[in-house]
Structure 1
């Protein structure tokens, strides 16, 4: 089978969809010894040397930078088929919402979440308008749809009138490096970030959907109510309307105990999860929510909302609160930071819950879908 995958997000996006694509493709490649894989690589970045890839993997750079390639394919709708770059394909997979023009190959598109339709107030207006025009068209042209959670699958079926057999879940996975670590292994990272105090960690892009302003207000209230010694440490790059998050810290006069790390080096994430007493993830909506599983895998107790995909990921290994309920968030922070028994119980459940999600299992599921779609069979 000749397979093509758009690898652009894997190269240009450090977190989120980029991380999902990198993890999935890395686990998929060892399964493709009898197949040929072509990765479409963004013009902006030189690909790794050919010797870094197996012999059955080809790299084809896109002719234009990502922004202009997107305009050409999804605004101007010019019929520049991917096969002009890849040669003949049996199947092409677009893992980032948008399916480019494809001449004859069977096609799949991955829908990570539908926040721009389900929770439009949390999507940047320009991005929302663009996705409202392009995602339905991609779904209509694709031979099969992939979602990375049951929640996203249900949303896609409901919003686009799809048959359940048209949409398959291929989730994400947790890398083995996310594991409990001894205190001696964490000293360098603690010193690097100056984390010489007990703290609650939250990691995500700084944007309204992640509810950092609500977390900051709740954390300040919990700290005052119970005189907690903990600090709040937030890691993540700046998204849209990030200024409101910094402004909330000023309004709450919390600058002495709320700390922003900025975009965190991926290699440091396992240590940061391990160093935290608690991982808080009060998001308004998540297509998958990988940080919840990564924190669990590290043996750190998790507090998260009961929105969208998070219940199916967390199971009974997290303390869950209703979405948007700040008083419940305050109470959850107080309880978990004061009740060592409960916090340790959740921390102990985490690794087993996270172990159910592996990139290898996701890649094997994906290859079965590829085989069925390329052969025009029904996907189980």
Structure 2
């Protein structure tokens, strides 16, 4: 029988947090889902009076107000994570005896006797299955489905994701709450012009460039950006393209396309960008383009807007919610429209200024403190039954 928490029995409810995908180093693993988990762990104790215990695989990080329990295995490896998540974690939960368990990355243990919440960021493993190793894909597809049905409640990170989860996994919409990501405090104030100029000199960056930040993989539709750039470079001479991000699956195709089009001197690959440098990269760019076909949310466009950089995104999935009316949107399949949108912003200072002002206002709407408060309210509702 499921054990329920009753307000009269305990002053501070105890929340268990499965944070095994948290990565605190400067690598591609520390992006995306890891950023989301880290910021919730930072802010939850600030907005609620719950007691928190978090299971994670790495020490470090500025995480006050919660108890950490380091997992004994390197759960960054999918096979090891499955072993820990399904065989070892239930024993840890039984020893700690939280009132509720939050699986912060898709999956819950099969053997649970307490209320549980799972956060499902997106369904990429269903929509873009080739992006995953076979074992990881099978585990996510099977266990996310099982977890979604047995969870007391689910969380999504965008309304598009909420509707997709309900449709694909057969879960009622009322069982899913959207907990939007927030903006990292590092982006609260855009870098100054002098800081940006100094950064550009130190990095040897061109005076004018279009920026993409994200994993280099086919799902991000980077070849479309390369083709659009190739089409406009004579119309906007002097503008370069910077593709910043770690190498994902299929990255060889991206490098090969740059060489095939003879753009080796026009396109720069700085690799993964550390979190503490991101604001400077965004602010140094004249334009940020994110042509992704599928996103659970899409933090890079939000961060770029917060740094005062005009953005162009695909009119696809959750990116519409992230950017709102503050940026330009084009179909991910229309390279000509993308090229024209790039030219329009690169050649019109008034359009840039308008996008910049609207982007700053749009980005200010997403705050991690609000995200944590929404998440804590979900805990409260579930605990009260």
Pair 1:109-2:118 in alignment: yes
Ranges of 4+ aligned residues in structure 1 off by more than 6 Å: none
| Mapped contact 1:219–1:232 kept (Cα < 8 A) | yes
1:11 aligned partner? 23
Partners of 1:213 and 1:206 in 2: CA distance: 10
> Pick from 44, 64, 76: which aligns with 1:28?
44
Change (3 A) 1:273 1:173: same
| Mapped contact 2:236–2:343 kept (Cα < 8 A) | no
Per-residue deviation at 1:183? 1.1
Instruction: Quote the RMSD (CA, aligned, Å).
Output: 2.0
> Pick from 275, 288, 294: which aligns with 2:303?
294
Pair 1:39-2:54 in alignment: yes
Partners of 2:139 and 2:268 in 1: CA distance: 34
Residues paired across the two proteins, number: 366
Change (3 A) 1:330 1:196: closer
| Mapped contact 1:124–1:240 kept (Cα < 8 A) | no
1:373 aligned partner? 382
> Pick from 192, 199, 213: which aligns with 2:209?
199
Partners of 2:43 and 2:380 in 1: CA distance: 16
| Mapped contact 1:60–1:85 kept (Cα < 8 A) | no
| Mapped contact 1:5–1:92 kept (Cα < 8 A) | yes
Partners of 1:159 and 1:331 in 2: CA distance: 35
| Mapped contact 1:4–1:86 kept (Cα < 8 A) | no
Pair 1:190-2:205 in alignment: no
| Mapped contact 1:222–1:330 kept (Cα < 8 A) | yes
Partners of 1:243 and 1:132 in 2: CA distance: 27
Per-residue deviation at 1:102? 5.0
1:285 aligned partner? 294
| Mapped contact 1:292–1:314 kept (Cα < 8 A) | yes
| Mapped contact 1:82–1:102 kept (Cα < 8 A) | no
Q: Answer with 332-341 or 81-90: which moved more.
A: 81-90
| Mapped contact 1:198–1:230 kept (Cα < 8 A) | yes
3-state SS in 2 of match to 1:145: strand
Change (3 A) 1:124 1:361: same
1:208 aligned partner? 218
3-state SS in 2 of match to 1:200: strand
Partners of 1:194 and 1:273 in 2: CA distance: 15
Partners of 1:280 and 1:82 in 2: CA distance: 46
2:81 aligned partner? 70
> Pick from 144, 152, 170: which aligns with 1:135?
144
1:48 aligned partner? 60
> Pick from 343, 354, 364: which aligns with 1:355?
364
Per-residue deviation at 1:103? 3.1
What is the 5 A alignment of 1:163-242? Answer: 163-178=172-187, 179-224=189-234, 226-242=235-251
Question: Unaligned 5+ residue runs, structure 1?
Answer: none
Partners of 2:217 and 2:365 in 1: CA distance: 29
Partners of 1:329 and 1:285 in 2: CA distance: 17
Per-residue deviation at 1:116? 2.2
After TM superposition, the score normalised by the length of structure 2 is 0.90
2:10 aligned partner? none
3-state SS in 2 of match to 1:202: strand
> Pick from 338, 343, 352: which aligns with 2:352?
343
Question: Unaligned 5+ residue runs, structure 2?
Answer: 1-12
Per-residue deviation at 1:85? 6.9
